[in-house]
Chains A and B, each alone.
Chain A
Amino acid sequence: MKQKERKFDALIGHLSDDLYRFAFWLCKNDALAKDLVQETYLRAWRALDSLKNEKAAKSWIFTILRREFARLFERKVPPISSLDDLDFDIEETKSIGPDDKMEIDIVRDAIMQLDKKYSEPLMLQVVGGFSCDEIAQQLAISKSAVMTQLFRARSKLQTVLTKESKIGKVI
C-alpha cells in the first residue's frame, strides 16, 4: 500500500491544481470542480494498477477527469454564459493592471461562449500543456481536427478581444 501511495503521489499528486483548473472550465463552478477532482483522484487510485505506461500518467488522469465529468456532471451543470455568473477566486487578478485585467475578463467571457468542441482542446493545450498529438489521442479525433479546432478557438477569442478592446478604449 505504501509503495502504491508513493507511486500515486509521484505520478499524479502534483497535478491537482491543473486538474482543478481544467475541471473548473468544464463545470464553470468551483464546488463541482473540487468534487470532480476528488472523484478523479479516487478513480485513479482504484485504477492505478491498470496504468501500464507511467509516462502517460498525466494524459491518463485528464482522461479520467473528462469521463467523470461526462458521467456525473455534464448534464447538471447550469448553463453559464457570462463571467458575472462565475464563482471563482479573483484574488490573483488584483495585482494586474486595469488594461490587462480588462483583456483577461474579455478572454474569459469569450471562453464561456466557446462551443465545447473548441474550448476543450484549447484547455487541454493551455491548462494541461498537452501537444496536439496527445489531445488527439485523448479526444479520439485526428490531429488535423485538433489543429482546426485550436485554430478556430483562438481565432474566435482574438476576434472578440480585438473588438471588445477597441470598444473599451473608445469608452
Chain B
Amino acid sequence: MNYFEFRQQLLKDSFTKDEEFHRLRKEDLRCAKAYKEAMAFEKTLKKALNIKAPDNLKDSIVLRQTTQHTLTRSFRNYAIAATVLISFVIVSATWYLQKPGSIEQFIIESVALESNVPLSENSISLNKIKLVFAEFETEVNGDLGEVRFIHDCHTPGGTGVHMVVSTDAGLVTIYYMPKTTLSKDRIDFETANEKAILVAMERGSIAIIADTRQQLAAIEPTLKNNLVFL
C-alpha cells in the first residue's frame, strides 16, 4: 500500500483493521498526518449525522409492546377465569360487531384519526397494490385508480387495508375489512364531513368515504369488479 492508496482507504473506511494500513499510519509521516486529518473529519461527520433522538422515542415504542405483555400476564394469572372471560368477550364482541352502528362508528373514528396519512406524489404502482392485497388472499385484477396511499390497518375483527384514491372530484378513502361481515348488503352513513358507504363483499366488506355520493357510486363498481377473493 502506498501513500495514495492509504488516502483512498481513509475515504472508504478509516476504521479498517488492515495491518498494512495501520503500519503506515504509525511509520509514515505523511500517512500519519493524513490519518490525523481524516480522524478530525470523521469526528465532524459523526457530529453532523448524530442528531438528538427524541427523549421519549423508545418508551413510546415499548409501550405498545408492553400493553400486549400486560394482557398476556393477566390471562396467565387468571387462567381459569380467563376461559369464561374470553368466551364472554368473544360473544360480546360478536354481538357488538353485529350491532347496527358499530362498524359505522369504527369508520367514523378511523377517518377522524387517519385523515392526514402521507400521500405519495405519484400513483402507487399496481404491483405494490397487488402485494398489499395479496396478504389478505385477495387478487387485484385491474386498475383501482390513482392510489396515493395504501397500508395495512386495524379493522373490526382483524387486519385490513387502508387506501386513498385520488379522483378528479377529490380524494376517496377506502377501508377493506376482510373480517368484518355486514348485517346488510349496503349501509349508507355519514362521517363528520363526508359521505360514506359500507358494502358487503364476497369476503368481508369495504367502506368507501368521499365528499359526495357520486364519488362513492363511481368507485364502488371498480372495487367490486377488480378485487378477486382467492
Name the prevailing secondary structure of the A interface residues. helix
Q: Is B53 an interface residue (CB 8 A)?
A: yes
Residues of B within 8 A of A154 (CB): 11-12, 41, 45
Q: In the complex, what residues of A have CB within 8 A of residue B51's CB?
A: 21, 24, 88-89, 92
CA A119 – CA B11 in complex, angstroms? 14
Residues in chain B near residue A96, CB distance under 8 A: 47
A1 contacts B41, C-beta separation under 8 Å = no
Cβ of B80 within 8 Å of any chain A Cβ, yes or no, is: no
Name the B residues within 8 Å of A65 (CB-CB).
none
Majority DSSP secondary structure for residues of B touching A? helix
With A and B bound together, what is the CA distance between A58 and B92 in angstroms?
42
Q: Residue B122 contacts which of A20, A75, A132 (CB distance < 8 angstroms)? A: A75
Whether, in the assembled complex, B184 has its beta carbon less than 8 Å from a beta carbon of chain A, the answer is: no
Complexed CA–CA distance, A72 and B84 (Å): 41
* Inter-chain contacts of B62 with A (CB < 8 A): 9, 13
Question: Do residues A151 and B49 form an inter-chain contact, with CB atoms below 8 A?
Answer: no
Chain A CB within 8 A of B61 CB: yes
Docked-complex contact A20 and B54, CB < 8 angstroms: yes
> Which residue of B11, B41, B42, B50 contacts A21 across the interface (Cβ within 8 Å)?
B50
The answer, yes or no, to whether B114 is at the interface (CB within 8 Å) is: no
Please state if B72 and A76 are interface contacts (CB–CB under 8 Å). Answer: no
Q: Which residue of A lies closest to B40 (CB)?
A: A103
* Cβ distance A142 to chain B, nearest Cβ, rounded Å: 13
Residues of B within 8 A of A (CB): 8, 11-13, 41-42, 44-54, 57-58, 60-62, 64-66, 68-69, 72-73, 118-122, 124, 128, 151
A interface list, Cβ under 8 A from B: 1-2, 5, 8-9, 13, 16-17, 20-21, 24-25, 30, 32, 34-35, 37-38, 41-42, 45, 71-73, 75-76, 88-89, 91-93, 96, 100, 103-104, 107-108, 111, 123, 125-127, 131-132, 147, 150-151, 154-155, 157-158, 161
A-B contacts, 14 of them at CB < 8 A, read: A1-B69, A2-B72, A16-B53, A21-B51, A21-B53, A34-B57, A45-B65, A76-B120, A92-B51, A92-B52, A111-B49, A151-B11, A151-B12, A161-B44
